[in-house]
Each structure stands twice: as C-alpha cells, then as structure tokens.
Amino acid sequence: MAQSIQLFKRPNIRRTSPWRLPTLFALLLLLSTLVVANEAKIADVPDSRQQCSGMYSRRDWGGSIDPYIKVDLNKPSSESSTESSIVSLVIFEWTDVEYIGLNTGQADGSKVYVCDKAAIDAKYCSQDNYGQFLLQGSTNGSIASVFTKAVTLSDDEPATVTYDVRKTGFYCVGSYALTSDEGYVGTVNFQNAFGKLPASQIAKLPFYGGLAIAYAVVLAFWMFLYVQYRSDILAVQNYITACAAFLAIEMVIVWGYYDVVNTKGNTVFSRFYMVFVAILNAFRNAFTFFLLLIVCMGYGVVKPTLGSTMTKCRILAGLHFVFGVVYAIASFLVTPDTAGPLILLVILPLAATMTAFYLWILSSLTSTIRNLTERKQNVKALMYRRLWRLLFISILIIFGFFFVNSLIFADRNSPDFIPRHWRSRWFVLDGWLNVVYFVDFLVIAFLWRPTRNNRRFAMSDELAQDEDGDGFEIASLAGSLDEEEGVGAGRRYDPVTRSANPYEAGKDAKKETEEAERETMFEAPDDEYDRWSEDDDSNAGIDESTPVQKKKEPGKDD
C-alpha cells in the first residue's frame, strides 16, 4: 500500500535561497491519506511531493520479475512554456533517511537538502551535483542505497526514472521543483515482483485463501453429519448450514478480489468487484447477528418456534444489511476530507441496529440460561453456558486487541511508525477479526452439530432429581414440534421407565447426565435411545402420566 508521507513542503521563502529547507524532514510526523494502489500521484503541491510504499524483494516473496520503482514526470498540461525546468528527485529506503541533507551547523539544527546555486556558493556542493539532493557522509555526493538525480522536464516527452529494488523495505520518493514556478505532475509506480497488489496487502492473498480452505473443510464435515442425520435435523441447524456454505463461498470471492487486483491492477472491474465484496460483507454481518440471536433465544432447542419474534429478528437483520450496504457504498464515494455532518446519517442507523443486536443477544442468552436453570434442565443449560463463555472470551479478546492496538497506534506520530509496521498492519486492522470470527463459528457449529436422535433429545425436558435421588425422566415436547411442522396430532413419547430401586435410579440418572454433557445437547446416550425405542414400540398406548415400573431382573416380574 503506497503511503504519502509529508517529507517536506515547499517553503514560503524567496527564490534567492531555496536551498534552505528547514521544514524538509521536520514534517515527517504528518501522515496523509493512504493510497490504495500500486501507483501513486506525485505533484508540486503540498502532501503530494512525496510517496512511500513497502516493497518486497524478489527473493523474499518470489515473482516473475525484478521489483522496481518507476517515476514518470511531466510539465502540467496547462503550461505551454518552452523553457525547460529542473526537478530534484530522491529515492531511498527509509532506514537511509538519516543520510539525506547536510547539517548547516546552526543552533536550530537546520539542514541543506538541495544543491542549488546558493548551496554551491556556500560550498555545500559542487556544480556537478547541481539539482541533486545532498547526502550526509558522502565524499563524492552519492551513497549506493540512495538514488538522487536532477530531472530536466520539457514539453516534448515525459522524463522517466527507474530504481531497482534489491532488498525488502519501506521506500520513498521525494521531489522538489528547483528552477521553475510551473511545477510538475507525474506518477510513481511501486512494482513488486509478485504483481500489482501493494506489498502491504499481499499477505491477504494467502490469508484469505487459507480461510476459504478452512471454511470449506468445516462445511464438508458439517454436511457429512447433516446428510447422515438428515431425518433428525433441527430448524436452527438449517440456518447454520446456510451460514457455513455462505462463509465458504464468501472467502473464495474475497480471495478472488485480491487475486484480480494482483493480476490486473486497479481497473474498473476490480472496483465494482470491491463494492460486491463489501455488500457480501454486510450480508455476512447481518446474517451472523441474526443466527446468533435466534440461537441465544433457544430456537429449535428450548423453543420449537419463535412466533412473531422470528419476524422481528428478520426485520432487524434486513435493516442491518441495508444500512451496512449504504455505509459500504458511502465509504467508497465519500473521502474523510470531504465528509461532513451528513455522514452521520449513514453511520448512526448502522450503529443503532448493531447496538440493538448486541443488547437483544445478551438479554436473550441470559433469559434462556435462567429459564433452563430454574427448570433444572442441566444439560441444555450447560450448553448455553458454554456459548456464554465463548461470547465472553471473544469480547475479552476483542477488547484486548483494541487495547494493544491503542498502545501501538499511540506511537503513530513517530516517523518510524509506518516503516516499522507496514508488513503487519493489515493483520492488526483486519486479519485478527477474521480469525476470531472463524473460531467462534467453529465452536458454535461444533456445539450445535447434527447428531443421532438430536431432534427428540433437543425438544425433550429433563426432569430434575428429587431429594431421594429418585429418577431422571424425559417428558417429550414432540407433540408441539409435530404440530408446528403440520404433521398432525402425532404420537407422544413415553417417559423413560423408572427403577424400583431409588438408589440405582439415582446412579443411573447421574451417569446418563454425565454422558449427555460429554456429548452435546442433541445426542442422547445409546442406552437411553434403546429404551426410547422399546417404549415407542411396546408402550405406545400408555399415557405419560402413568408411571412405568422397571423390572428388577431380566425375565422376572416385581
């Protein structure tokens, strides 16, 4: 990513002494807007005289060509003067910035940066170096790692300068109109060996490719379980299936965007592609909030249906998506410099829907856990407590990263901030959030994965043990589920048979609870499943309120 850094600005002094530029490197602290491209504009106006970008050597990242920096300079098209002008040009790697400029020996620590007539008269340089930048510690006016040249501009053709990049670093191009008030315009092309993607973003290409593969693997395992237990799938698991498929496809599309930019550059197609990616991102955020909300409400596990609340959840998700798209489009059309108070009309609605989601999710999850705890639904409550811990840990990680980032960006006014962090900045701003999102989705998908008999177990109530340890029963809610799905009155599952021995029943209940907790909310222990099957076949006509006595020994009656 090219970065414009205010190395110096044209001094407001008479042309009789242009060699004294006390503000040349004094304004290094002023960082201008990021240039998201391999090419950057350069001109004789403030904030555009210098452009900087990180670059990788061919050995460090690989590629088909040798990396280079190409500078094309022209006279402004409005100028028709036949007189040629001279532009002082310097190209250097940031660690060599200390070599640029000669100390004047004055108390203010000022430096002489350009060799002009006044600098020649003051014996700072010779006529052979006229128009070049002065280099500290150089006996012949040159240093191998720093390139400087006096570029002569004419109306006939542009002047082109090429600098070969042999090592990875943060490179800068500085310019100054020496002999004319006409100025100059041009472009700086930071061409890396691997393609047209800025070096600060090339790491995103393998990163999103890896995420696409990771989501595809998760989707494959999920679909294996989904197909294997397709007759027992819950409604909430259908939403998770759609989300997993969307995430895998989205990561492929995002990876494709960076591959297109790396191959074709910043074309009209790549810009439309970027808008499409932003719309997908808005949909992902809305869908994720919606899915997390209905999960926290207990949809498909605690409640067979959400009724009118489901419609409200969908409306909120739709609004969040629309506001997210508007925000994404506005971010492309409006720059921070031109943004006025009206930008709040774009930001505030999105912030409002996001806040509504956060509050609703937390309150729903708290209510679900409290409800399950009061009803002694220990296994289900454990699952939602695990979800609560996941969200809590994620929030701690996010705030922890924000705190670390705040400490890092507190040093952003340092001249060495961007040269030091350009290779990792993409991960600090974007990458780690995608990692946290993936881990959260992976854990939720694991907790709510399809299992054998998960529908019956999810929509059943665990009856609490009394003080004598008497029993662990399942009172089915299958009737209400069938009614919702239009199956009809349906048959009701019989409760699990009790042991005539309270002590043995208590031990059995404890064992069954532990086995269920080791699995998931949706998977019943094998012996429980067998007893359910036997009850369904032999006791279909027994009412749930009728206690069923368990035989003490096989083949013998009480």
pLDDT per residue as tens digits for the range 270-288: 888 888 888 888 898 888 8
Range 157-161 average pLDDT: 84
Do the strands 68-74 and 460-463 form a parallel or antiparallel pair, or are they unpaired?
Answer: unpaired
Whole-angstrom distance, CA of residue 469 vs CA of residue 349:
54
Structure-model confidence comparison of residues 4 and 234, the more confident one: 234
Q: What percent of the chain has pLDDT over 70?
A: 67
Residue 216 has pLDDT above 90, yes or no: yes
Residue 477 has pLDDT above 70, yes or no: no
pLDDT for the residue numbered 401: 79
pLDDT for the residue numbered 241: 92
Range 88-99 average pLDDT: 87
pLDDT per residue as tens digits for the range 294-331: 888 888 777 777 888 888 989 999 998 888 888 877 76
Q: E-assigned strands of 104-168?
A: 111-112, 147-153, 159-164
Query: What is the token pair recorded at 278?
Result: 């932003």
Q: Give the confidence band of 415 by pLDDT, cuts at 50, 70, 90.
A: low
> Residue 342 forms beta bridges with which residues?
none
pLDDT for the residue numbered 517: 45
Residue 221 has pLDDT above 90, yes or no: yes
Structure-model confidence comparison of residues 39 and 156, the more confident one: 39
Tell me the pTM.
Answer: 0.70
pLDDT per residue as tens digits for the range 67-83: 999 999 888 765 555 56
Q: Are 428 and 204 in contact (CB under 8 A)?
A: no
Structure-model confidence comparison of residues 136 and 199, the more confident one: 199
Residue burial 101-114, b: 16+ Cβ < 10 Å; e: rest: bbebeeeeebbbbb
Residue 522 has pLDDT above 80, yes or no: no
> Among 126-130, 136-140, 185-189, which stretch is predicted with the lowest mean pLDDT?
136-140
* Tokens 């507190």, located at residue: 410
Residue 542 has pLDDT above 50, yes or no: no
Q: Centre a 10 Å sphere on the Cβ of residue 222 and count the other Cβ atoms it contains.
A: 21
> Residue 163 forms beta bridges with which residues?
69
Residue 15 has pLDDT above 80, yes or no: no
Residue 533 has pLDDT above 60, yes or no: no
Q: Which amino acid is at 255?
A: W
Q: What percent of the chain has pLDDT over 90?
A: 11
pLDDT for the residue numbered 23: 35
Q: Are 497 and 531 in contact (CB under 8 A)?
A: yes
Whole-angstrom distance, CA of residue 273 vs CA of residue 207:
19
335 CB contacts (<8 Å, ≥6 apart)?
Answer: 33
* Tokens 């995608």, located at residue: 434
pLDDT per residue as tens digits for the range 460-469: 655 555 444 4
Sign of the four-CA dihedral 125, 129, 132, 133: negative
Residue 218 has pLDDT above 90, yes or no: yes
Residue 421 has pLDDT above 60, yes or no: yes
Whole-angstrom distance, CA of residue 522 vs CA of residue 301:
8
In the sheet with 31-35, reading across from the earlier edge strand, the strands are 31-35, 2-5, 50-55, 169-177, 85-93, 147-153
Burial of 174 (0-12, 13-18, 19+ CB in 10 A): buried
- Whole-number mean pLDDT of the chain? 72
Range 10-29 average pLDDT: 32
pLDDT for the residue numbered 461: 58
pLDDT for the residue numbered 235: 79
pLDDT for the residue numbered 143: 67
pLDDT for the residue numbered 206: 92
pLDDT for the residue numbered 332: 63
Whole-angstrom distance, CA of residue 55 vs CA of residue 147:
16
> Among 280-289, 448-457, 468-477, which stretch is predicted with the lowest mean pLDDT?
468-477
pLDDT per residue as tens digits for the range 342-378: 666 777 888 888 888 888 888 888 888 888 888 777 7
Residue 1 has pLDDT above 60, yes or no: no
Query: What is the token pair recorded at 170?
Result: 């943060």
pLDDT for the residue numbered 498: 40
Sign of the four-CA dihedral 486, 488, 489, 490: negative
Whole-angstrom distance, CA of residue 457 vs CA of residue 302:
11
Q: What is the DSSP string of 36-104?
A: -SSEEEEESSTT-SEEEEEE--HHHH--SS--EEEEEEE--TT----S-EEEEEEEEEGGGGGGBSEE-
Integer angstrom CA distances of residue 192 from 48, 102, 170, 435: 22, 32, 12, 27
